[in-house]
Chain A
Amino acid sequence: MRQQICIGDNLRLERRAGEARFICSCDRDLGTGQVNFKEHCRVKESSSSDIGPGYASSDPEMAGQMCFREFFCPGCGVRLTTEVALVGSPYLWDIQPKL
């Protein structure tokens, strides 16, 4: 029986008080395993052209429909995950391991 599941370097799903919870490496609780942990992150949404040098689009109108989302741990500011997504689309619930 697993007591915890490591998800990459900073995020883990851990049993706490009988419940599976997302926890950051800084020990910040990111909510129950039943809910997308992204809902508990600080989120920065920027243009998909502005991710950094080299991403600039030659078609700003098309690129404008897309955004780049960064999900930070509200405790320590580490970037846990990112999404290139359609503006206005819900966050992708992409990591749902079961403890």
Chain B
Amino acid sequence: MEQTANIIWDGVARGYIPPDVLRISPKLQLHTKGAADVDPITYEVARNTLLNINLEHGQTIQKLSISPITMLVRDFQCAILTENGDVMCLGPYLLYLGNMLGLITKWILENRSEEPGIEDGDVFLCNDPYVGTSHQQDTGLTCPVFWQGELFCWVSNSVHYSDVGGPMPGSFCLNSNTIWEDPPCFPPIKLMERGQIRTDLEQLFLRQSRLPDTVAMDLHAAIAGLSVAKERIIKLIERYGPDTVKGVMNRIIDAGELAIEEKLQLIPDGRWSERVYTEAAVPGDRGIYASQINIIKEGGFLYVDNEGTSPQVGAINNTYAGLAGGTLAAMTIMLAYDLAGVSGGLYRRVKFRPVPGTITCADYPAPISIAGQFNMPMVVATATGAVAKMVACADSPLREKAIAMADVHAYGGSIFNGINQHGQFFVGMNAGMAVGALPASPVRDGVDTGGLFWVPGMEAANVEENELAWPVLTLYRRHNTAGAAGAGRFRSGLGAEEAWVLHGAPQMSMEVYMNESFVKNQGLLGGNPGGRSFFQVKKNTDVRLCLAEGKLPQNLADLSGGDVPMYFKGPPITLEANDVWSSNLPNFAGYGDPLDRDPALVAIDVSEGKLTTADAQQVYAVIFGADGSVDEENTRACRAGRKQARLAACP
């Protein structure tokens, strides 16, 4: 690390970390006068309006965009920021993108305010992960809001665009070893200048894409969202005056900070860590790498570092923006859950001391494009583990808000392309597994297929929608069972699995899929880790014969044909008529010793068909009597015996 010691966090050679005081050109006039004495009623009316403006911004994007990733998977975010780029609030969408909008905006303030200048009617576009995006596909737009010649505030959004170029359809470039094998990075450019779209720059951006029409529609949806938000903020200023509105914005963040401070008082000082492993820096690589996050809580502040994380390698990197965004996402859920997206106060209380040159805080020219599928869920998971352990040490009621780890590498599942049954080229990202699952907590079970908590509102496409868009037939989509994966005193919600066969096209190509060689999830305080996420392909099966004979295969094991040896990341696979493939979103992490689980809860799972009596006995040491009810006495004895056996087995 020493040779990199004098590289600065400038967003060029290394991820951008804004200084406490931004270096902004004097050419740009900032509105900084926030009234301190706004009456409590005006405050509340304006607060409610500002939060709704941000929701309206998000709803506009969601409604007008056309890529399922935005519409259903909620892979976007929007925010209102103060004049100096501090995030005031973010929307109920992909949480880790929130802080990134602040980074991009601050970078623009520092690097664009002199030349070419920041003016009323401008919109900047940026997809450069070193400036502040999670990966190139998550392109940010940020728009200054001016009042009488002064920069009043910003409205910003980040949207996942289906394809922004690079060697792989969908722009997830698994094989990249450098950023030059990745989709292009655009540091902030003025996509709109004084209210007009720069068509030359728009075309420059669209020209990189395999799906320029789709990206154009989504880009215009994103611009429409900004316009709505900007217009409404101007109206609010017209009504209450700039100083009052600014005073309200500042107080919203201050109130959020106070709420966070109060929660921090419930947590003892200390240090908490989590480590999560990943594998395969590029396809074919057999290496194993670590992501670690450590949180030191000292008084009213949290200090976060990633010491213990592997050096940057292959394609599995994210920049500082991803590390900070992922950590803050986990903190938002466990510390700012009651603040309706006002996260600015939280952000003030978290200080990062990242170790550069690592897979979770990479230096240029590490490639970043696959981070959305691989690193970002891993960073959120790592942070979730550390935050959950910290929160579990807090006084009630905060300790109940701890939540066990969700997926490390199961987000989205697979990306594939080909010609569909309508004769059109498509790039598919399977959102079927977006059903997610809510992991366990210290006070209750998780929720079966309860979504991903760090992407609120995310939903899976219907099977019928998938089958209309892509040449596939879904043989099944069903809940996992509640066996060992995610077991605990409180168990994880159940994940799901589905299996597909081609239908209506002779072949298609699968570029991104994830078949974990080993489980990567970590259990919370004695709970089992979540299961292994798998992707399985069986070639040359008798599936057609089965269908012709009127049988819908419900189990890959029942089909003839050979399993293709699958790696965590393999080369693209060509899927053909007789192939069947299945993906699994495992149950997530459990909490507490499974032997402490209330036998009545075990019995409910058995009665609902979620758990076999054999698993109930093996995992939970719950014994059922002949009448099907829990045999309390034998269960107690069995559990005591198990605990003794544990000690006997490991001297």
Asked if A and B touch directly (CB within 8 angstroms), the answer is: yes
Known contacts A84-B522, A95-B272: A58-B646 contact under CB 8 Å? no
Q: Are the C-beta atoms of A83 and B650 separated by less than 8 Å?
A: no
Is B271 on the interface with A (CB-CB < 8 A)? yes
Verify if A76 is at the interface (C-beta below 8 Å from B). yes
Given the contacts A53-B618, A98-B270, A10 and B526 also touching, CB distance less than 8 Å: yes
Beta-carbon contact of B393 and A6 below 8 Å: yes
Q: Is the CB of A62 within 8 A of B526?
A: no
Complex CA distance for A99 and B268, rounded to whole angstroms? 7
B210 interface hit (Cβ, 8 Å):
no
B393–A5 contact, CB under 8 A? yes
Could you tell me the distance between the alpha carbons of A93 and B274 in the complex, rounded to whole angstroms? 9
Checking A8, A63, A85 against B517 with a beta-carbon cut-off of 8 angstroms, the contacting residue is A63
Q: What 0/1 pattern do residues 503 to 530 of B give for CB contact below 8 A with A?
A: 0000000000001111111111111110
Closest to A97 in B: B270
Interface residue ranges of A59-85 to B (CB < 8 Å): 59, 61-63, 65-66, 68, 70, 72, 74, 76-85
Residue of B at shortest CB range from A92? Answer: B275
Of B389, B517, B644, which contacts A95 at CB under 8 A?
B389
Q: Are A57 and B532 in contact (CB under 8 A)?
A: yes
Task: Identify which of B67-75, B318-326, B592-600 touches chain A.
Answer: B592-600
Quick check: A66 and B518 within 8 Å, CB to CB?
yes
Which listed residue (B269, B288, B522, B642) contacts A82, Cβ 8 A? B522
Q: Determine whether the beta carbon of B647 is less than 8 Å from that of A42.
A: yes
Assess whether B531 is interfacial by the CB under 8 Å rule. Answer: yes
Q: In the complex, what distance in Å separates the CA atom of A61 from the CA atom of B645? A: 29
CA distance A41 to B591 in the complex (A): 19
Most chain B beta-carbon contacts within 10 A, residue among A6, A77, A81, A99: A77
User: Judging by beta carbons under 8 Å apart, are B483 and A52 in contact?
Assistant: yes
Residue interface bits A22-52, CB-to-B below 8 A is 1, else 0: 0000000000000000000011100011011
With a cutoff of 8 Å between Cβ atoms, the chain A residues found around residue B422 in the complex are none
A-contact bits for B71-111, CB 8 A (1 contact / 0 none): 00000000000000000000000000000000000000000
**Quick check: A53 and B483 within 8 Å, CB to CB?**
yes
A79: chain B residues at CB < 8 Å are 526, 593-595, 646
Annotate A4-19 by CB proximity to B: 1 below 8 A, 0 otherwise: 0111111100000000
Contact B525 A81 (CB under 8 A): yes
Partner of A63, one of B385, B518, B643: B518
Whether A49 touches B596, Cβ cut-off 8 Å, given contacts A65-B288, A94-B274, A95-B389, is no
**A-chain residues with CB within 8 Å of residue B290 when the two chains form the complex:** 86
Q: From DSSP, what is the main secondary structure of chain B's interface residues?
A: loop
Task: Decide: A8 and B526 in contact? CB cutoff 8 A.
Answer: yes
User: Counting CB contacts under 8 A, is B489 at the interface?
Assistant: yes
Known pairs A79-B593, A86-B290; A96 contacts B522 (CB<8 A): no
Q: Hey, which chain B residues are within 8 Å of A42, CB to CB?
A: 646-647, 650-651
* Residue in chain A with minimal CB distance to B643: A77
Q: Tell me the smallest distance from the CB of A17 to a CB of chain B, in Å.
A: 20
Q: How large is the interface on B (under 10, 10 to 19, 20 to 34, 35 or more residues)?
A: 35 or more
Find out whether the CB atom of B517 lies under 8 angstroms from the CB atom of A59. Answer: yes
Q: Given A54-B483, A65-B288, A86-B290, are A59 and B393 also a contact pair (CB < 8 Å)?
A: no
**Chain A residue nearest in CB terms to B641:** A77
User: In the complex, which of the residues B393, B528, B586, B642 contacts A97, with contact meaning CB atoms closer than 8 Å?
Assistant: B393
**Is A57 in contact with B517, judged by CB distance below 8 angstroms?**
yes
CB neighbours (8 Å) of B619 from chain A are 52-53
Which of A8, A10, A51 neighbours the largest number of chain B CB atoms within 10 Å of its CB? A8
Q: Which residue of A lies closest to B612 (CB)?
A: A53
Which residues of A have CB within 8 Å of B485? 52, 54-55
Residues from chain A with a CB closer than 8 A to the CB of B595 are: 78-79
* Among B480, B489, B565, contact of A9 (Cβ-Cβ < 8 Å): B489
Residue numbers in A under 8 Å from B527 (CB-CB): 82
- Pick from A43, A55, A58: contact of B484, CB under 8 Å: A55
User: Do B393 and A82 touch across chains, with their CB atoms under 8 A apart?
Assistant: no
Q: With A9-B525, A78-B526 as given contacts, are A96 and B270 in contact (CB-CB < 8 Å)? A: yes
Contacting A at CB under 8 A, from B566-583, are 566-568
Cβ contact of B273, chosen from A55, A58, A93, A99, cutoff 8 A: A93
Kindly report which residue of chain A lies nearest to residue B584, judged by CB atoms.
Answer: A54
Give the Cβ gap from B136 to chain A, nearest Cβ, in Å: 29
Query: CA separation between A68 and B277, bound complex, in Å?
Result: 12
Chain B residues with CB under 8 Å of A85's CB are: 275, 277
Shortest Cβ gap from B286 to chain A (Å): 7
Chain A residues whose CB sits within 8 angstroms of the CB of B586 once the complex forms:
54
Q: Could you tell me if A66 and B643 are in contact, using CB atoms closer than 8 angstroms?
A: no
Known pairs A70-B646, A79-B594. 18 more at Cβ < 8 A? A6-B399, A7-B392, A8-B392, A42-B651, A44-B649, A44-B650, A51-B519, A53-B484, A53-B618, A62-B279, A68-B529, A74-B647, A78-B526, A78-B643, A81-B525, A95-B393, A96-B272, A98-B270
Interface residues of A (CB under 8 A from B): 2, 5-11, 42-44, 48-49, 51-59, 61-63, 65-66, 68, 70, 72, 74, 76-86, 92-99
Q: What are 28 A-B pairs at a CB distance below 8 A?
A: A9-B526, A11-B525, A42-B650, A43-B650, A52-B528, A54-B481, A54-B484, A54-B532, A58-B534, A59-B517, A59-B568, A63-B517, A65-B518, A66-B288, A68-B519, A68-B529, A77-B646, A78-B593, A79-B646, A80-B525, A82-B527, A84-B518, A84-B520, A84-B521, A93-B273, A94-B273, A94-B275, A97-B269
